[in-house]
Structure 1
Amino acid sequence: ELAQRLQGRALGGWGLLQLAAGTGLAAYAVWAAVLMPGFRRVPLHLQVPYVPSNAQQVANAMALLEGRSGKMVDLGSGDGRLVIEAYKRGLRPAVGYELNPWLLRLSKYRAWKAGCDGKVSFLKQDLWKVNLSDCYNVTMFLAPSVKSPLAAKLLAELPDEARVVAGRFPFPSWTPSSTIGKGLDQAWAYDMKEVRQAAQRSAEGSPV
């Protein structure tokens, strides 16, 4: 409709301003209706916007979990693609934690479409309040701003045998056990036993 209205018309400065305002309001309307629900209960500095992972990012994350077993969780699971792929690769149970109700519905639809309906779980829970003590494979594609507080939670709760895979951005204070990919497709794997040992050496002031 917008294209039809603009066809054959020259836009002046005021017209361009109206167009920019209109498209901006439309984008905000989508954000407010679809992506904002669920964020309202989370402190601003701990909120993480939804940015879907691409096929290469998913493949890299799964490569770092290859050959592993046990419970897998995706923190801020978005549309569910990582959880579904993990289940297909034998990581079970596979669980996604997500607050946004629209993304939870999308996740369940994707699971049904992939033949995983009832085999994977998507839970409306705040990742900051979930107990991770029984999780052995943890994935996340979260913003750098939440990595430091999240590192403290993971150190406090995860078992030594757990592996954490971070996509797009690494944990700034942790040394990865392995990494794969480049740029925003890069993923980092952290083995919690090694992370704890490094933290202990640092606290004791001994050389690495």
Structure 2
Amino acid sequence: MEDSIEVILQDYGNVFPTSRPHLVLSACTGTLLTGLYGVWSLFTMPGFRKVPSGLKVFAASSAGFKCTGFEINSILLAYARTKARWTGVPSSQANFVKKDFWKTDLSKYNNITAFLAPGAMEVLGDKLLKELPDGALVISCRFHFPYWPHQSTVGSGLDQTWAYDITAVRKAGLREVSNVVEDR
């Protein structure tokens, strides 16, 4: 005997009920998607946060520079340290620290490489002018320092980098450092 479609759907309606929500399934799906988004955002949104310092540190240390990478994200710090060990980079050549470079005195460094969002470049420029010694060199990746005369530039578009000599920037006097001291 053949059942009508209504009878069949009624019989199987209890197997896949659509009238009430699946709370556990919804919670698991939401948690999974949130976790995936979190991991994705760590590595694919560098313009809005500090880029993993390891990328620049490895390039500079392979050129013979002694480097310090600043990272405040524990996951990216662990990744950079692990990659350094895995690739055989000695800690005397490339060191990674969990510090915010905005709160660190940079006066002992002679070479700085920066890759920050455009809105942070002017503030970083003020910090570097205050703290770096004469003769220090600054490389900015993708975004330039406003008002600073560059010594050279390589690439174009998103792959462009600028090189600055802090002494030449100070002599140009195009961007004076404010004397306002802020408590943070």
State the TM-score, normalized to the length of structure 2: 0.69
Question: Per the alignment, do residues 130 and 77 of structure 1 end up closer, same or farther by CA in structure 2, a change over 3 Å counting?
Answer: farther
Q: Which amino acid counterpart does residue 166 of structure 2 have in structure 1?
A: M
C-alpha spacing 1:34/1:126, structure 2 compared with 1 (3 Å):
farther
Equivalents in 2 of 1:164, 1:196: separation in Å? 13
Supply the AA of the counterpart residue of 1:178.
S
Where relative contact order (Cα < 8 A, 6+ residues apart) is larger, the structure is 1
Residue of structure 2 in register with 1:197 after alignment: 171
3-state SS in 2 of match to 1:169: coil
Aligned to 1:116: 89
Aligned residues: 143
Q: Which amino acid aligns with 1:143?
A: A
- Contact 1:97 1:123 (C-alpha < 8 Å) held by counterparts: yes
| 1:109 partner letter | T
The one-letter code matched in structure 1 to 2:72 is L
Flag structure 1 segments of 5+ consecutive residues without an equivalent. 1-21, 37-48, 52-75, 204-208
Cα-Cα RMSD: 2.5
Is 1:83–1:95's contact at 8 Å kept on the other side of the alignment?
yes
Q: Which residue of 1 aligns with 2:46?
A: 50
Unaligned stretches of 5+ residues in structure 2: 1-28, 177-184
1:159 partnered with 2:159 = no
Q: Distance between the aligned counterparts of 1:136 and 1:88, measured in 2? A: 17
3-state SS, counterpart of residue 90 of structure 1 = coil
Paired position in structure 2 for 1:129: 103
Distance verdict in 2 for CA 1:81–1:202, change over 3 Å: closer
Q: Among the aligned pairs, what percent are the same residue?
A: 38
| Corresponding residue of 1:6 | none
Structure index of larger Rg: 2
CA distance in 2: counterparts of 1:97 and 1:202, whole angstroms? 26
Q: CA deviation at 1:172?
A: 1.3
Are the counterparts in 1 of residues 148 and 175 from structure 2 also a CA contact under 8 Å? no
Q: Which amino acid aligns with 1:144?
A: P
- Counterpart Cα distance in 2 of 1:176 and 1:98: 27
Change (3 A) 1:202 1:151: closer
Q: Choose from 60, 68, 89 the match for 1:95.
A: 68
AA at the equivalent of 2:171 = Q
Matches within 5 A, 1:20-39: 26=33, 28-32=34-38
CA distance in 1, matches of 2:51, 2:81: 11
Q: Whole-Å Cα distance in 1 between the matches of residues 114 and 76 of structure 2? A: 16
CA apart distance, 1:81: 2.2
- Normalising by the residue count of structure 1, what TM-score does the alignment of the two structures yield? 0.62
Name 1:12's counterpart in structure 2. none
